[in-house]
Amino acid sequence: MSGVALFDQWPLLTGLGLSLGLGLLIGIQRGWTLRRGAAGSRFAGIRTFALLGLTGGIAGIVHPVDRIIAGVLLASAALLVVLGYARTARETGAISGTSALAGLITLGCGFLAASGSSQIASIIAVSATLLLTLRPQLHRWIKGMTEAEVSAIARFALIALVVLPLLPDRSLGPYDAWSPRQLWLVVVFVSGFSFAGYLASRRFGATRGTLVMAATGAMVSSTAVTAALATRLRDAKENASVLVAGISAASAIMLIRAIILVALLAPIALPALAMLLAPAALVSIAGAAWGLRAGRNAEAVPASAVALRNPLNLGPALVLMALVMAMAVAARWLMERVGEAGLAVILALSGIADIDAAIITIGGLPTGLLDSRTAGLVVAAPIMANTLFKAAVAVAIARSRRGWLAALPLIASVAAGAAMIPFLP
């Protein structure tokens, strides 16, 4: 009977064990961080945090039976934490509440772990421990930030974490072509990719070489990178081979980024699109490798920064959203009037300026409207048009044989992708 009784109590025991373990986890981090403090200068160490987790676990077990007792346990433990913080602050003059807040979080995690929410408790405890561990890195990051970057983070959090969840996820407008939440995802994705590119460029710096700048800049706009590097091609003192490598690398990043976006937003087009873009990306990578090898023995030239727009300037994102709205209506109208060929034409033309709108438009079409092969071809059209446009930009801006040298890998990548069309299933 004792074995059966123990088996019946096993969930409670595992909950208590997890409560204790999470308390120990946070306690180890706090104990190690404060290990050099004078004796008696801290109100909580590894044992206290373990006991706070265990106290929360006991309250979680008691709660279904007697909520008053559970509440008294939690309130008493929380009061001890607050009093300990007040005493430490008064005696040391320190006003940091990190350990006190960590103690309250430990208490709450213990309660959750023993009351049936073990996964949530574990996620919170591990996240809190990681955050506490990253204190030196976070402080260095904060010291190096500008006011504009702080503002950009706040704005991105607003559009991604506040506005997006509040928008309805249903079809509205002409032909039921608009979903407010999906349309706002355009702003979130464009801003997110731009911000990622901006942070990458800050991390590597403008002096790390043309290839690094081209790769990070392509996260914002591969067309802007191509134009900037083509301008430098006009200078005979610049290393043409390295600049060609940069343009090819930016194009390869754009193609890989397009595959990732399609996988996220329009998975129906992914199989066919991957067959078309993978060879194109490989040709662009080969062009970058050739340029890098050809320029290896040339005189090193300092790389100038590629001019990029404000990573969280919402103007371009909102313009793109308006374009997506117009294209969604036009796509449904064309599909109703002239079928799939009309859709391919309008997306190919729009892709000269931006390929994201075409990808998002395909992702927003009703399920079953296009088969996988057709969807892949329709998405590939604007991507290939964009690549050819960049080749034309390189030739027009460089205005020399160097421009054609930069355009050659781009044209070859389009040819490699087009050569795969007969082999599509």
Amino acid identity, position 375: A
Report the half-sphere exposure of 342 (CA within 13 A, side-chain side).
13
Q: How much is the pLDDT for 29?
A: 85
Q: Do 344 and 377 contact (CB within 8 A), yes or no?
A: yes
* Backbone CA torsion sign across 397, 400, 406, 412: positive
Cα separation, 332 vs 335, whole angstroms: 5
Cα separation, 48 vs 71, whole angstroms: 20
Residue with tokens 């506040």: 162
Q: Taking each helix axis from N to C terminus, what angle separates 372-398 and 240-265, rounded to the nearest 10 degrees?
A: 160
Structure tokens at 306: 């590629």
Helices (H), 338-365: 340-350, 356-364
Q: How much is the pLDDT for 301?
A: 43
Q: How much is the pLDDT for 376?
A: 76
Please report, in tens digits, the pLDDT of each residue of the chain (425 residues total). 455 454 556 777 888 888 989 989 988 888 887 776 665 556 667 888 888 899 999 998 888 888 898 888 889 888 888 887 777 767 666 666 777 888 889 999 999 988 888 889 999 999 988 888 888 887 777 777 777 777 778 888 888 888 888 888 787 877 777 888 877 876 776 666 556 656 655 665 543 556 666 776 677 667 767 777 777 777 777 777 878 888 888 888 888 888 888 888 777 778 888 888 889 989 989 988 888 777 665 544 444 444 444 556 666 567 657 766 776 677 667 666 665 555 556 665 555 555 666 666 666 666 666 677 777 777 788 888 888 878 887 888 787 788 888 889 999 999 998 898 888 77
